[in-house]
Structure 1
Amino acid sequence: MEQLATLVSSNAPPSHLFEALSLYEHEACLISEGSGYPGTGGGDPTLLSTFYSSFFLVHLLTDQVPEARALTKRMPGSLIHQDSSLQNCLTLLRAVWQTQVEQVYRILRQCPWPEVLQPLVRRYESFYQDKTLISVSTSYEAIRLSTAAKYLGLDEQSAEQEDPNIIANFTKCGWTWDPETKLLHPKPIVVSPMDNQSSNGIRGAMKMLGTSGSLS
């Protein structure tokens, strides 16, 4: 458990986390099939929950959504029914799969995640914001500020009031704001494949979304 906690709280690139956790899955299967855990016949439910939840989040962090879905099929069934973290993972997967943007942010921010998983939850939230911003920047020629804020998990009420901090989050990326039409005009954001696989994504390069009070 100590080794796992150290690994998931590290600043290692997501691809490295995925490779490291992949090596543990066979051992996790053996543990789940062992003795000492009612319902699954396996041992140490906390360790199993932490491993599978961490591995699931790293799948999402490396943009492997179909593979994350496959992983949920390999998790011990009885453990899923009893463990809140794994249930959160399933709910999050459904929201990501169905592109329910507001639900994704709600699950990440409001569901009870154990302390050991918090670093991965925060990293995925940042990654999801970056990925969504890139998608929106190439999908719209013009967009309402409140709609753009929704996609980024920002405060929509502040956006409705044309909060300068909300507007600045987008203009820092090269977007333009038209105060007469009250529309944002996105500028397509292009990142290299290496940057796109980073949990920091374009946030590190543009240092956006860092304005105090801008997040809902």
Structure 2
Amino acid sequence: MDLPPLTVEQLSQLVASNLPPSHLFKVLTEYEQEACLMSAGSGSPETGGGDPVLLSLFYSSFFLVHLLTDQIPEARALTNRMPATLKQQDPSLQNCLTLLRAVWQTEYAQVYQILRGLPWPDLIQPLVRRYQSFFQDKTLISVSRSYEAIRLTAAATYLGLDQKLAEQEDPDIIANFTKCGWTWNPETKLLHPKPIVVSTADTQASNGIRETMAMLGARAS
């Protein structure tokens, strides 16, 4: 594939596009060699050679696309290929390292706190939002298969929802789960998940799950 030079503008167009994560991964993989040359100071003025801003945006984007394609070990390997000095000093790459630790250790609440609370560059915000939705989808499916019964507050933690509303047994919070096929027992105060099955041929969750997660996100803490 003949790609235009890696620039902030080109990266911005890619990140803001609605390309499937697998396609984004392929394109950014092809750009990595160019980024390596830049980090070594071998880039041309036209491509912003050695530009720390461009390199930060590229590696942050590539990292998030690794997570979007569920390649967590590979994302860990990528952090070892990031320019060492930039990785130690750049806030965005530091955020990536913090996020990786939380994802690796399945610290659900911390993942949402990092995605929502840390300062991410405007250019990569679309990828941050996409990964939050992906992480919620993946977690919802996993929880639906792992539990026969779960407290509302625990389910809210897994999905990054408002804990206070969950403690109050907010009807809208409950409704978002029941729309996934779960049932709510008001006597035992327990949710009973229904296993969510997504075809392995699908690269994204079903539209029904995505619509439900959009509503869940609207009530996230």
- Shared topology, TM-score over 0.5? yes
In structure 2, C-alpha distance between the alignment counterparts of 1:72 and 1:193, rounded to whole Å = 28
**What are the ranges of 5 or more consecutive residues in structure 2 without an aligned counterpart?**
1-7, 44-48
Is 1:143 matched with 2:150? yes
CA distance in 2, matches of 1:155, 1:209: 14
From 175, 199, 209, give the equivalent of 2:213. Answer: 209
Say whether 1:7 aligns with 2:14.
yes
Question: Which of 86, 109, 119 is residue 116 of structure 2 equivalent to?
Answer: 109
Pairs aligned (count): 207
Q: Is the 8 A contact 2:15 2:61 kept in 1?
A: yes
User: Which ranges in structure 1 are unaligned for 5 or more consecutive residues?
Assistant: 37-41
Deviation readout 1:148-184 (Å, 9 max, x if unpaired)? 0110000011011010110011100000000000000
After superposition, the CA RMSD in angstroms is: 1.4
8 Å contact kept, 1:209–1:215: no
- C-alpha distance in structure 2 between counterparts of 1:4 and 1:143, whole Å: 42
Q: How does 1:1-216 map to 2 (within 5 A)?
A: 1-34=8-41, 43-195=50-202, 197-198=203-204, 201-202=205-206, 204-206=207-209, 207-211=211-215, 213-216=218-221
Shift of 1:35: 6.3
Name the TM-score, length of structure 1 as normaliser: 0.92
Q: Secondary structure at the match of 2:184?
A: strand
88-97 or 204-213: which moved more? 204-213
Q: Secondary structure at the match of 2:212?
A: coil
Secondary structure of 2:213's match?
coil
Partners of 1:160 and 1:209 in 2: CA distance = 20
Q: How far 1:146 moved relative to its partner?
A: 0.6
Describe the superposition over 1:36-87 as per-residue Cα deviations: whole angstroms up to 9, x where unpaired.
9xxxxx7100000000000000000000000000000000000011100000
Asked if 2 retains the 8 angstrom alpha-carbon contact of 1:165 and 1:211, the reply is no
Report if aligned partners of 1:54, 1:120 keep a CA contact under 8 Å in 2: yes
Q: Tell me by how many angstroms 1:193 deviates.
A: 2.1
Aligned mates of 1:134, 1:209 — CA distance in 2: 11
Q: Distance in 2 between matches of 1:71 and 1:193?
A: 26
Deviation at 1:211, TM superposition (A): 3.5
1:118-171 alpha-carbon deviations (Å, 9 max, x no partner): 000000000000000001001100000010011000001101101011001110
Q: How many angstroms apart in 1 are the aligned matches of 2:159 and 2:82? A: 31
Amino acid at match of 1:205: G
In structure 1, C-alpha distance between the alignment counterparts of 2:92 and 2:140, rounded to whole Å = 27
User: Secondary structure at the residue paired with 1:184?
Assistant: strand
Find runs of 4+ consecutive structure 1 residues off by over 6 angstroms: none
